[in-house]
Amino acid sequence: MLNAQKTLKFTLSLICFLCLSVLYAQAQYYPGYGRGYGGGLGGGLNRYGSEFDNPKPKGPLDPDELAKEETRWMVKKLKLTDEQEILVSSLNEDYAYQRKDLYDRIKKDFGAERPTPQQINDAKAKMAALEEKQNKELEKIFTPEQFKIYSDKKEDAKKKAKQ
């Protein structure tokens, strides 16, 4: 009897977990800056356009905080020199504000309407171009070994984000 109850509890827990996983996997994220445009179980738009709890999508992280976070990661993982840290910090802050401005312009272009697939692709292309420009400048600051580590980590992050 005790084994049957444990098995039933385990089965029900597993079913709940699978249901929540499916719901979470179906939540749609819009392209954007930082944390994305709404999405997830906590609010935003699902793939059918309905809203959950949060009528306003979350905006991007504060550019200053984002730049500091990126710089901290680079100093720790890439073992930057003091001179590199100063250059990278300034560069990260500059590009964090550029991304914020681009995000705001894209968001304004979308307006209250749901973006079309073409608009989404255009926004992704603009963000990718800005990232590529930043990467070229970082390549000038980093040693070849540091840039390889940086590039590999970015590729890993992109792969994980697609999954």
- Write down the pTM of the prediction: 0.59
pLDDT in tens, 5-36: 555 455 444 454 444 444 444 444 444 444 44
Tell me the C-alpha to C-alpha distance, in Å, between residue 95 and each of 67, 79, 137, 142.
Answer: 8, 21, 11, 17
Would you give per-residue pLDDT tens digits along the chain (163 residues)? 555 555 545 544 445 444 444 444 444 444 444 444 444 444 444 444 444 445 555 555 789 999 999 999 999 999 999 999 999 999 999 999 999 998 888 888 888 888 888 888 998 899 999 999 999 999 999 999 999 999 999 899 888 888 8
| Cβ proximity of 32 and 101 under 8 Å | no
The string of DSSP codes covering 18-71 is HHHHHHHHH---B--STT-BS-STTSSB-TTS-B-S-SS---PPPHHHHHHHHH
Compute the C-alpha angle 154/157/158, nearest 5°.
90
pLDDT confidence of residue 140: 95
